[in-house]
């Protein structure tokens, strides 16, 4: 499954957008929820255009500079539906950066490890509060964001529980 295709085609599902608008949506709305490293939006958009998934045209409003506007094609609509349906059943083990540290835990000084793990729990509690606040601010027409925030809150709570248990078992 190509997550970048899913992302960009999904953003174009409700209408054409120019590059800046796509960047803004990514940054303002989606970045807290995705783990894709997107350095440039234009390279993936060009790749999708070559595949016939999106179309690009240049538009101008008044005296403003030209804008490159992207829209999803019928082929892109089909591809989006396929990828979206696959994504519901795609299970990848989540990678948590702490996993590598836990692998080498036997080499860490126990008191230092406990201190760092307690700090991680404190940070996770802060994240959980921020997620809770974001959930309160979700507009009714953005129910899908409410679902994502709930899912992320559950994951953070599970890590808090797991790390707290680990701290108790360390010497």
In contact, 53 and 5? CB cutoff 8 Å: yes
pLDDT (tens digit per residue) in 121-136? 999 999 999 989 888 8
| pTM listed for this prediction | 0.71
pLDDT score recorded for residue 85: 93
Q: Strands of 67-72's sheet, edge to edge? A: 17-18, 67-72, 54-59
All residues at 6 or more sequence positions from 78 whose CB lies less than 8 Å from its CB, including other chains:
none
The structural domains of the chain, with segments of one domain joined by +, span 3-87, 98-169
Q: How far apart are CA 129 and CA 125, in angstroms?
A: 6
Residues paired with residue 70 on neighbouring β-strands, in sequence order:
17, 56
pLDDT of 2 above 90:
no
At what angle are helices 42-50 and 3-12 packed, to 10 degrees? 90
How many angstroms separate the Cα of 79 from the Cα of each of 19, 51, 143?
21, 10, 24
What top-level class would CATH report for the domain 3-87? mainly alpha
pLDDT, mean over the chain: 88
> Exposed, middle or buried by CB within 10 Å (0-12, 13-18, 19+), for 5?
buried
| Among the listed residues 27, 26, 24, the one whose alpha carbon sits nearest the alpha carbon of residue 6 | 26
pLDDT (tens digit per residue) in 33-82? 676 667 788 889 999 999 999 999 987 777 778 888 999 999 999 999 99
């Amino acid at each position: 499954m190509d997550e970048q295709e899913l992302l960009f085609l999904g953003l174009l599902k409700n209408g054409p957008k120019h590059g800046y608008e796509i960047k803004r949506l990514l940054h303002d709305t989606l970045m807290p929820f995705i783990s894709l490293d997107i350095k440039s939006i234009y390279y993936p958009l060009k790749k999708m255009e070559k595949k016939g998934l999106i179309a690009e045209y240049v538009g101008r409003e008044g005296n403003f500079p030209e804008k490159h506007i992207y829209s999803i094609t019928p082929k892109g609509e089909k591809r989006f539906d396929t990828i979206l349906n696959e994504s519901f059943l795609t299970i990848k083990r989540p990678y948590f950066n702490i996993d590598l540290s836990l692998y080498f835990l036997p080499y860490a000084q126990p008191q230092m490890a406990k201190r760092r793990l307690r700090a991680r729990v404190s940070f996770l509690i802060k994240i959980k509060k921020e997620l809770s606040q974001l959930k309160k601010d979700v507009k009714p027409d953005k129910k899908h964001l409410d679902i994502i925030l709930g899912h992320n809150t559950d994951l953070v709570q599970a890590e808090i529980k797991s790390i707290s248990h680990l701290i108790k078992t360390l010497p």
